Structure 1
Amino acid sequence: MTENVSYDVLVTSGNTTTTPVNGVELDPLIETFKILITCILAIVMFGMGSAVDLLDLKCVFKQPKGLILGLLCQIFMMPLLTYSLIKIASLTGIHAIVFMAVGCSPGGLFSNVISMMVDGDMALSIALTTCTNILAFATVPLWLLFFTSIEQISDELHIPYSSLAISLVSLVVPIILGILFRLKFVRIARYMAKGCGIFGFVLLIVTIVAMVIRNEVPLVFTVNSVLPVVFLPLIGMSLSYLLSCIPQLHLSSGARRTVAIETSIQNGNLSNNIVFLTYADNLTLFTSAVPITLLFSVAQSFYNVIMVFGYKGYRMWKTRHEEKDTVTLQSAVSYQNMDDSHIKARNYDFI
């Protein structure tokens, strides 16, 4: 399943043909689009798998500092940070519940695409995404139970285990096939990985635009609900990157970027399904909950797209700067050689 992009239930208007489910109308175009994106994303994940060297993946588990840090950031830091923002912004009721569901969700599949685009550690990225989604079967219910208990909220949240399982299968199976493909066709796998990375990035932008254009749910935002949702992925990304810079961890720059990306991108599909299964039979609550997941999906996608363009711009500038330094150094060496030649010639004439 995809994240950042899809919503299981959307209320639509106009001339679009709809099918009522639990009192809420499904947009068939969105449902078709979701199926298409899921199939395309499986191909992208195959490409991501072909970018991973099996030896690198083994090294991630043999030297698990980056993996452990990423898991701690995703499983503990993000939920705690979400809860802190809920208290600071004084969020209550359904907004607080849905925001907490977003904050404790596992890593999203598009994090692998973004990691590749910024030359991250692909083996670490795939290991983190897989492990957080597996652990989510336990961590998500526990965090939501803890939150509703400590806040004394009597609301029975429905955890979509089937959706989580589908997300896990759609992640793991194509990646395993991609890794096996790389073992036999190394040269082709390199080109395939780069092509799928670019294709996945374009897909991310297209799905964000499509999500915003096709969404016709009456969105009601307030300042105290907008600010924490918008800043959560940015704060999570920044804090996790700073933690990854601890000298004792000895993480590479690519691994640091990967930890930051994996922490900031949540499995939006899971939080969307929690909202649907819990509130689909109450249109008022449902339309009040959807803006939280929508806003977070757009925000986390926006930050990571900016990161990609910023990184690519930096790489271009650095390459040009290095080329200029190389030319300058070559010119200096040439002048030095000319001076040495003149000195030798003078000495020869003197003799």
Structure 2
Amino acid sequence: ISMTVCSTLLGMGMMPLCLFIYTQTWTDSASIAIPYDSIGITLVSLVVPVAFGMFVQYKWPKKAKILVKIGSVLGGILIIAISVAGALLYQGAWDTEPAMWIIGCIFPIIGYVLGFGLAKLVNQPWQRCRTIAMETGAQNSQLCTTIVQLSFTPEQLVRMFTFPLIYSAFQMATAFIFVAIYQIYKRKFK
């Protein structure tokens, strides 16, 4: 939980710097409006539920386990519903060049592998390595999608939403494949 909060806060805080560094060569920096309101809304929408979960875990650990199971099921249903809605609402986003598809397919894998590799490099236990890999590989697209949706008009969203949509789709597919491989490994060799 603390890793999620820290990485989200750092990601949000460094976003204006990243926009400045990466966009100053190809656009007038005065024309870029950093969506501080949207960033703040996103930050609150991420930190408040995490803080509530930590409070429930501290006060009522047994009830927290039940809430985690219920939340996991509801979260999975919500992810599927949002994915389907995004695919249907932004159908024009699927008509894009092959390079975007290739990058969208490779990025989640890079996130998962780097997260796992760096955790292993600092001698974390196997369970933490898996958790860090899933966290680093999965966190980016939700943050990106939320900020894009809050920052642009519906007309601009059709153009801007292409990469987050492709990335999210491949991220979920890659995560399901990794989890399936691990479950098969666990059943066969343990």
TM-score bucket (shorter structure) = 0.7 to 0.9
What is the identity, as a one-letter code, of the residue corresponding to 1:257?
R
Question: Which of 259, 273, 290 is the equivalent residue of 2:132?
Answer: 259
Q: What is the CA RMSD across the aligned residues, in angstroms?
A: 2.5
Cα deviations by residue, 1:140-163 (Å, 9 ceiling, x for unpaired)? 1111211123xx201533322222
Structure 1 partner of 2:159: 288
Q: Is the 8 A contact 2:148 2:157 kept in 1?
A: no
Structure 1 partner of 2:112: 237
1:234 to partner: Cα distance: 1.0
1:286 to partner: Cα distance: 5.3
Structure 2 partner of 1:143: 18
Partner SS for 1:250 = coil
1:304 to partner: Cα distance: 1.9
Q: Is the 8 A contact 1:241 1:260 kept in 2?
A: yes
- Which structure: larger Rg? 1
Question: Which of 173, 180, 184 is the equivalent residue of 2:55?
Answer: 180
Task: Find the aligned partners of 1:218 and 1:197 in 2 and give their Cα distance.
Answer: 29
Higher relative contact order (CA 8 A, sep 6+): 1
Query: Where do 5+ consecutive residues of structure 1 fail to align?
Result: 1-125, 323-351
Structure 1 partner of 2:146: 269
Q: Is the 8 A contact 1:272 1:293 kept in 2?
A: no
2:153 paired with 1:153: no
Alignment of 1:35-50 (within 5 A): none
Cα deviations by residue, 1:42-64 (Å, 9 ceiling, x for unpaired)? xxxxxxxxxxxxxxxxxxxxxxx
Query: Where do 5+ consecutive residues of structure 2 fail to align?
Result: none
Cα deviations by residue, 1:325-344 (Å, 9 ceiling, x for unpaired)? xxxxxxxxxxxxxxxxxxxx
Task: Find the aligned partners of 2:49 and 2:23 in 1 and give their Cα distance.
Answer: 36
TM-score, length basis structure 1: 0.47
Task: Find the aligned partners of 1:209 and 1:133 in 2 and give their Cα distance.
Answer: 25
Q: Is the 8 A contact 1:219 1:288 kept in 2?
A: no
Structure 1 or 2: larger helix share? 2
What is the identity, as a one-letter code, of the residue corresponding to 1:253?
W
Partner SS for 1:162 = helix
What is the identity, as a one-letter code, of the residue corresponding to 2:119?
S
TM-score, length basis structure 2: 0.81
2:181 paired with 1:310: yes
Cα deviations by residue, 1:178-237 (Å, 9 ceiling, x for unpaired)? 222233322222222122223312322232123213333364311222212221111121
Query: Which contiguous aligned blocks of 4+ residues in structure 1 show a shift greater than 4 angstroms?
Result: none
Task: Find the aligned partners of 2:157 and 2:56 in 1 and give their Cα distance.
Answer: 44
Structure 2 partner of 1:225: 100
1:264 to partner: Cα distance: 1.6
Structure 2 partner of 1:205: 80
Task: Find the aligned partners of 1:227 and 1:263 in 2 and give their Cα distance.
Answer: 20
- CA spacing shift, 1:218–1:134, aligned 2, 3 Å: closer
Percent of aligned pairs with the same amino acid: 27
Task: Find the aligned partners of 2:75 and 2:32 in 1 and give their Cα distance.
Answer: 32
Task: Find the aligned partners of 1:169 and 1:206 in 2 and give their Cα distance.
Answer: 23
2:90 paired with 1:215: yes
Aligned length in residues: 184
Deviates more, 1:165-174 or 1:305-314: 305-314
2:172 paired with 1:301: yes
Q: Is the 8 A contact 1:130 1:168 kept in 2?
A: no
Alignment of 1:1-351 (within 5 A): 126-149=1-24, 152-155=25-28, 156-217=31-92, 219-246=94-121, 249-265=122-138, 266=140, 267=143, 268-274=145-151, 276=152, 283=155, 287-315=158-186, 317=187, 322=190
Partner SS for 1:189 = helix
Task: Find the aligned partners of 1:290 and 1:172 in 2 and give their Cα distance.
Answer: 24
- CA spacing shift, 1:157–1:257, aligned 2, 3 Å: farther
1:292 to partner: Cα distance: 1.8
